[in-house]
A and B are shown apart, each in its own frame.
Chain A
């Protein structure tokens, strides 16, 4: 029953349901997005009390200016070699994404997710970590694996769920895992990696280790309870961790407003927890590197956790399962005020005089060729399709360390069915 407002003269209540500014066909105007001048942001000491650096969560750390020069106190002053490695790695990730996306369209696997436009948030971040720091990624941080030297063939084997898939064909494509490279198994459930990363960091601290943890999630999944549990545990135990929020503006079809982005920044979540927070131009690879380096040094010196919001844009679909032209304006990508991370770093290196357009064109070709070679190699091991790539018994292994009787019984049942379902495969055995 409605309440009685007659005594108060109040208007009736109204429910606010967020709506993005632009829908398909709309003209996009980003002039209201506040982009601070590069180089203007102060760089606090890594041991600073979070209370003294609260303005950082509303500001935006930027290093590359309009002329693609590196400016200001956050310039990490990286060597040409390091910057070239960063550029090449990002270009390789993009070429990989393009080809594997096409492979999904050709029916060679079930699913793919590109990281186009967001490459800096994983590549530059991973480069600023030590190679043995532990990463708890979400599903769009394939760049970390490229930085750490995971072979493309192994990634594609996983995407094809083929007989060489190190995860035995059990996981959805791109849900990689590599203990050797400090890359935690990716979950399809969002933000679950956040408290796990904090737990790993707490264990490292409790053991007197020197390694720190880093984790990533999208702005959309900051709404999950796991995010807030992780923030609470991180601040309570002063855990040596970097918590990255990749704000790419879109969670499938829901704009950042559905995670609270209309009211404040995602970096500002840090302030309420007493955690150091940085908001970074996520399409500026030097800024991403510098912020990660700052947070890593802070964590490694027992000064505790940092939350970094990477302000970026998801240039393509969420995955191969959605069509962004159905829910957002195509102009968004073209008008995005922070440009593209690869283009910006390329121009910076050209400006430095260590790179050229011609070299970049050659690099793109090399990257495409490298993916082609890796793809062909992986295809020899099979593509997704008929379910017989893995030894049959692997379906029942690793549920437990030792297989209990009920799984043994079910395994026998599956084997009996196998003879009926795939008699030809049985005959050729």
Chain B
């Protein structure tokens, strides 16, 4: 075991996989000699060679399209899109090509690619470095979407994603690369080294895709969250002394519906939290599923706490962020009768 932040854990997972499998190649803007703008690929080119980890032109369409072609050859490319906000020029290659290739070729060709991309706000990145576009990809049949919330999970899930024979969108919550975030922007960040989830094996291990993690058990309300919002949710329920069950989804598609269903049937209440914009966000899907499956167990309306339906603002970032106040109000609505 070594203490790692999320970047170091991702780097370690990539390194393990490159050592185990010659077909794993990393490509993206600035990922080679420099090691990536967030340092996720630091040292990998030097260690594994220039044809295994290389810089690309600034062309997301080209990066994804070339990765699809490399996968058709038999490789396992792990392209990095520098910010999730930049992914749109590559959308056709993801939606119409990578996601559909297995189906349209009756499995003669597949796209075993893992698209890594930092996402989410809270770093004063403005509207082009803060977006959470995950629901655009969960809507696409044929793509898996994975979002880790700790260094330990990030490495184990990334290895599973790379070994998966289907295309995986691997969104990394960049606000928590260096330490978990409680939603209070004015409090100092505590580094990952202070938390147990920073204990990461240097060797290969996997966390299965499609399995959620109950990070806090409780009976009063089920809180569904992923990425950065898992930590914010935890901090808020602790602060309010609510006996909440917090579930870190880890994977949005395929979703661990069993864990969600069992929890909501137990608690009878459900709060859904994500940083992404509200309308047609993944919370809408979660809300519908919980209603369809747990309606007769529900004791209060399902609540959603999300980002607002505006572009991510720069100076008003903390007014936008779905932090403790918005979550607290929603919890009041759902469990108010329990706490009052």
Please report A residues at the B interface, Cβ cutoff 8 Å: 134, 136, 166-168, 170-171, 175, 177-179, 184-185, 187, 189, 192, 194-204, 206-207, 213, 225-226, 229-230, 232-233, 236, 398-401, 404-406
Contacts and interface: CB of A to CB of B under 8 A. Distances in A.
B171 to A, nearest CB: 19
A185 B70 contact: no
Interface stretch (B93-101, B232-240, B267-275, B327-335): B93-101
B69 A225 contact: no
A227 to B, nearest CB: 10
Interface residues of B, number: 46
B160 interface: no
A298 to B, nearest CB: 20
Contact of B62 (A185, A195, A200): A195
Given A229-B65, A233-B66, A199 B92 contact: no
Interface of B: 25, 51, 56-57, 59, 61-62, 64-75, 77, 89, 92-93, 96-97, 101-110, 141-142, 144, 164-166, 210, 253-255, 257
A207 B101 CA distance: 23
B69 A200 contact: yes
Given A195-B93, A199-B73, A405-B254, A236 B107 contact: no
A189 B97 CA distance: 9
A405 B293 CA distance: 14
Contacts of B104: 167, 170-171, 175, 177, 185, 187
Nearest to B69: A199
A196 B75 CA distance: 13
26 contacts: A166-B106, A170-B104, A171-B104, A175-B104, A184-B72, A185-B105, A189-B92, A192-B96, A195-B66, A196-B93, A199-B71, A203-B70, A203-B75, A206-B25, A213-B69, A225-B61, A226-B92, A229-B61, A233-B57, A233-B66, A399-B142, A401-B102, A401-B110, A401-B165, A404-B210, A404-B253
Counting chain B CB atoms within 10 Å of each CB, the highest count among A204, A233, A236 belongs to: A233
Contact of B105 (A179, A226, A233, A400): A179
Given A171-B104, A199-B70, A207-B73, 10 more contacts: A177-B104, A192-B97, A195-B61, A195-B64, A199-B72, A200-B69, A200-B73, A230-B65, A232-B57, A232-B59
Contact of B108 (A134, A185, A192, A401): A185
B50 to A, nearest CB: 10
A144 to B, nearest CB: 16
A230 B65 CA distance: 8
Contacts of B56: 233, 236
A202 B96 contact: no
A170 B109 contact: no
A197 B65 CA distance: 9
A401 B102 CA distance: 8
Nearest to B258: A405
Contact of B106 (A167, A199, A206, A230): A167
A198 B69 CA distance: 7
B144 A400 contact: yes
Counting chain B CB atoms within 10 Å of each CB, the highest count among A187, A230, A398, A399 belongs to: A398
A201 B69 CA distance: 8
Contacts of B70: 199-200, 202-203
Nearest to A166: B106
Nearest to B93: A192
Contact of B255 (A177, A179, A226, A406): A406
B106 A168 contact: yes
A408 to B, nearest CB: 10
A179 B72 CA distance: 9
B65 A184 contact: no
Contacts of A203: 69-70, 73-75
B96 A187 contact: yes
A197 B57 contact: no
Contacts of B68: 195-196, 199
B142 A189 contact: no
Nearest to A197: B69
A400 B73 contact: no
B102 A400 contact: yes
Contacts of A229: 57, 59, 61-62, 65
A167 B64 CA distance: 24
